[in-house]
Structure 1
Amino acid sequence: MDPYIVALIGSGILILLTAWLPMILKEAPLSLPIVCVGIGALFFASPLASELVPHPQEHLPIVERLTEFVVIISLMGAGLKIDRPVRWRSWIITWRLLGIAMPLTILGLALLAHGLLGFGIATALLLASVLAPTDPVLASDIQVGPPDSGEDGEVRFGLTSEAGLNDGLAFPFVHAAIALALVSGSGEPWFLDWLSVSVLWKLVVGLVVGVITGRALGWLLFRLPHRAKISRTGDGFVALAITCLAYGLAEIVGGYGFLAVFVAALALRAAERHHDFHEKLHDFAEELERLMMMALLVGFGGALASGVLLRALTWEGVAFGIAALFIIRPLSGWIGLTGTGLPNNEKAIISFYGIRGIGSVYYLAYALQHGSFEAPEVLWSTIAFIIVVSILLHGATVTPAMRYLDRRRDAKVRQGEGGTSRNRR
């Protein structure tokens, strides 16, 4: 049978499922990523298909680029659906998750990787860094709703904004691990160069490029004379152009493209916050993200079923993964959110739902091409185990957890309206 025809049939089935499954799974205690991994595992478990799944270590550039594209599309969609203007007080949950919880998570994971897995400082820091960011791709079920939908509770907002920003903020730590790996033999000084370039320069440039790109494109979309405004086209695929421009321009001048994409989306919303065109942009980004995510997770499920991804997994790696998901991230998140005034149940949910996924795959593929690290297969197997547990655990519990929070929020709103009505009488 012609492989091209088989590929066409498989693509058609995948695209059809991309449109159909979210509707079917809306009220089920399952998430789309769980189903995608299951489909991949079933398909590639057959003797004929199992030979088609190579180890990602054998194709690092391809893995890096595919995961990179999915992440930047997801970051654009996440930024477009945040209704809340960027302010210090209204974003305090985000700043605490980024400034306190994320460094604590990296520190805890690095110490655990060094003590439990026996990795050196560079490899331990790398493993901690690639697992630090929450994944914007797999976290759609716990994020805020589409633009101007009103689904903007503190939990959803905190998790959405954290996922949008910490993918860019994880890069300095990944670069620190790469620098340590490169100078481990020579002993050359690296800290000042890392601080000035990988931290200050790249973060500032990514932020500035994102703001300028978002505002400039906001002017083209919404401020030109009526006949020339791009928003009049109604074409949602403009979101892809914005994503590519923000990411490409930031990378050309040496900034962090992930940060630039998310900031550009926020700046675009600020240009005309309540325009209907934002919903079209968001919908296209979400559909493209969902399609790419399904394709990658089907392949991920196949790699799990074939055994190539987990063949280097050890009991120490299992213990590390369990501790990362159940102890280190929740504890770091709780510490970071202490003092915000959030109810304990909301703090617990934000701290617990630190979903790991495609972003971690990207960072590992990137780092392994730029530095020499211990036991790459062990790294892949440990991260794959954490991702699959995260997909299953968080995917199975997110629907009832979010339903519980939404019911409590609605009840508080009704109580507030009732109290207002009684006061008026």
Structure 2
Amino acid sequence: MQEALWALVTGGLMLLMALGATVLTRIPLSTSMVYLGVGVALSPWGLGLLRADVAQHTVLVERLCEVVLLVSLFSSGLKMSTALRDRRWVLPLRLALLSMLVTVALIALAGHLLLGLSWGASVLLGGMLAPTDPVLASDVQVTHPRDRDSLRFALTAEGGLNDGTAFPFVLLGLGLLGADPDAHDGWRWLLLDGLWSSLAGLALGAGLGLAIARLVLYLRRRHREAVGLDDFLGMGLIALSYGVALLLHANGFLAVFAAGVAIRYLQRTQSPDPGSLRLAESAEADPDESVAQKVAVDPRHAPAYMAQAVLGFNEQLERIGELAVVVLIGALLWSVQWQGWAWWFVPLLLLGVRPVAVALGLRGSRASRAQRWLMGWFGIRGVGSLYYLAYAANHGLPHADAVLLASVTLSVVVSSIVLHGISVTPLMQAYEKRKRRGR
């Protein structure tokens, strides 16, 4: 009976999303809001089919969020078709570095002075809540590789970068709490967990992405081999980049994002014609496999087809991952020991800390007022924050701190899913109309 109920729930939800996908693009309701409601309905607050516990199932939560984040970060990298020297990279780099530092500092200050947390727990909370989410932000991200919009590009690249740049602060917070004694060594933390981890992660991911992609293209162009199974190519590169990075104490999240950027870079340099991308999209969608195989080995169009085929598969995985993890978030809420004061931290973060951090990080940039305002609002929190919460719980976070941080973190995540889900459609439609009018 239990298996039958789960089959009905899963199948019904997927069919509902398939049938109602176009409707959701026109109304102030996101897919994440639907998944969140389903999770709550399945929890002990509803039907009681899913008894996920935020304190007992931290390993499951960490692993699921980790996999979904990796797939999403790789997809974000594959969408970055802008040249590396393009000035559009300035905005996300400033958001992922300067705005990130300001966000962590302001959250840590608020956590210590207003919530009464220790400095270690406050820094850890800053690391958890500072990164924006690449999984739940699909409605404000680059829609396809030919999308040249600066706002979407900045938010997509920021989400791909700052899950990695936040990790050193999570480690620092755990170190200050005594969970990682080595983190008390400031120079070790700065040089190893900060600079080495970030730079090595980016370099490793880019190097592996370029090497594997060039090998595949060589085999396809010269020998008509290694054709098909682009889904295995994408997943294999994600796992390889992440695994090598972790073995070398480098940042695995940045490595996976860089691997995706590297594949798109190769496509841009070897198949720069926009017609190649359109042909690749058409061939991938063609039910006749011989058409796809012909384009896949064509010397001119092979890079575009490879990049597009890998991106298409990863986007499908990303949607399934979003469903799984947001349903889990909804199912976890019943087990949280809610602190009433945690809810006022939500407007402080979304309406105070995020806009201030964006304003300071982008000061003097070429971003328009509308773009800065939207970047300040769409600091979506979600899977990344939940992952770091579970990671900390599994790496020595004291139970008392875990209870408080879980309450604050999930208050922010749930509020972000609802508030950003309601506002994304009307705000982005207004932005597109304003852009078409040239304002």
Partner of 2:150: 154
Partner secondary structure for residue 76 of structure 2 = helix
CA deviation after TM superposition for structure 1 residue 18, in Å: 4.7
Match of 1:115 in 2: 113
Can you list the C-alpha shifts for 1:61-120, whole angstroms capped at 9, x where unaligned? 111110000000000111111111222633111121122211001100000001111000
Match of 1:359 among 384, 402, 410: 384
Match in the other structure for 2:267: 272
CA shift at 1:349, angstroms? 0.3
Q: What is the CA-CA distance between 1:398 and the residue it aligns to?
A: 0.8
Q: TM-score, normalized by length of structure 1? A: 0.89
Among 169, 176, 180, the residue aligned to 1:173:
169
**1:140 paired to 2:138:** yes
Q: CA deviation at 1:380?
A: 0.7
2:437 is aligned to 411
Q: Does 1:302 align with 2:331?
A: yes
Aligned to 2:25: 26
Is 2:368 the partner of 1:381? no
Q: 1:419: which partner in 2? A: none
Output one character per residue of 1:299-344: Cα deviation in whole Å (capped at 9) or x when no partner.
Answer: 222333xx222x33222x1122220111001111012112112221
Equivalent positions of 1:238-277 (< 5 A) are: 238-273=233-268, 274=271, 275-277=304-306
Asked if 1:292 corresponds to 2:321, the answer is: yes
Structure 2 counterpart SS, 1:403: helix
Separation in 2, partners of 1:289, 1:231 = 24
CA distance in 1, matches of 2:164, 2:221: 36
Note the 1:196-235 alignment, pairs <5 A.
Answer: 196-226=191-221, 228=223, 232-233=227-228, 235=230
CA separation in 2, counterparts of 1:259 and 1:194? Answer: 18
Provide closer, same or farther for how the CA distance between residues 14 and 238 of structure 1 changes in structure 2, counting only shifts above 3 A. Answer: farther
Partner of 1:85: 83
Q: Which amino acid aligns with 2:82?
A: R
Shifted more, 227-236 versus 155-164: the winner is 227-236
DSSP-derived class of the 2:29 partner: coil
Matched with 2:59 is 61
Is the aligned partner of 1:343 residue 2:360? no
Contact 2:97 2:162 in 1 (8 A): no
CA contact (8 A) 2:52 2:331 kept: no
Query: How many correspondences in the alignment?
Result: 404
CA deviations on 1:210-235 (whole Å, 9 max, x unpaired) are 01111012112323352646674263
Determine the C-alpha separation between the residues in 2 that align with 1:201 and 1:102: 18
Q: Which moved more, 1:380-389 or 1:41-50?
A: 41-50
Instruction: Output the CA distance in 1 between the equivalents of 2:84 and 2:332.
Output: 40
Listed as ranges, the matches of 1:313-324 within 5 Å are 313-315=339-341, 317-324=342-349
Structure 2: unaligned runs, 5 residues or longer: 272-303
**Distance between the aligned counterparts of 1:372 and 1:357, measured in 2?**
20
- How big is each residue's C-alpha offset from its partner over 1:32-54, in whole Å with a ceiling of 9 and x where there is no partner? 1011111222333566516x323
> For the structure 1 residues 86 and 400, does the alpha-carbon distance in structure 2 shift closer, same or farther, using more than 3 Å as the test?
same
Q: What is the CA-CA distance between 1:31 and the residue it aligns to?
A: 0.8
Would you say the 8 A contact 2:129–2:385 is kept in 1?
yes
CA contact (8 A) 2:183 2:189 kept: no
Query: Residue 247 of structure 1: CA displacement?
Result: 1.2
Offset, 1:196:
2.3
The residue correspondences of 1:387-406 to structure 2 (distance < 5 A) are 387-406=413-432
Query: Cα offset for 1:399?
Result: 1.1
Normalized against structure 2, the TM-score is what? 0.86
Aligned counterpart in structure 2 of residue 97 of structure 1, from 75, 95, 98: 95
Over residues 111-165 of structure 1, what are the superposed CA-to-partner deviations in whole Å (9 max), with x where a residue is unaligned? 00011110000000001110000000000000011223xx221110110000000
* Inter-partner Cα distance in structure 2 for 1:10 and 1:35: 13
**Which structure 1 segments of 5+ residues have no match?**
416-425
The Cα offsets for residues 185-220 of structure 1, whole Å up to 9 and x where unpaired, read as x89952122122211221222112101111012112
CA separation of 1:59 and 1:234: change in aligned 2, threshold 3 A: closer
Q: Deviations over 1:273-306 (max 9, x none)?
A: 24133222112111111112112211222333xx
CA contact (8 A) 2:234 2:310 kept: yes
- C-alpha contact (below 8 Å) 2:338/2:407 kept by paired residues: yes
1:325-368 deviation digits (Å, cap 9, x = unpaired): 11001111012112112221111001111000010010111112
Contact kept? 2:134, 2:159, Cα under 8 Å:
yes
Equivalent residues of 2:88, 2:154 under 8 A apart: no
Quick one: structure 1 residues 53 and 204, their matched pair in 2 at CA, closer, same or farther if it must change by over 3 Å? same
Q: Which runs of 4+ in 1 moved over 6 A?
A: none
Quote the Cα distance in structure 1 between the aligned partners of 2:198 and 2:423: 35
Q: CA RMSD in A?
A: 2.2
Distance 1:218 1:109, change over 3 A: same
Q: Which amino acid in structure 1 is aligned with residue 386 of structure 2?
A: V
SS in 2 for 1:56: coil
Structure 1 residue 250, shift from structure 2 partner: 1.1
Do the aligned residues in 1 keep the contact of 2:200 with 2:250 (CA within 8 Å)? yes
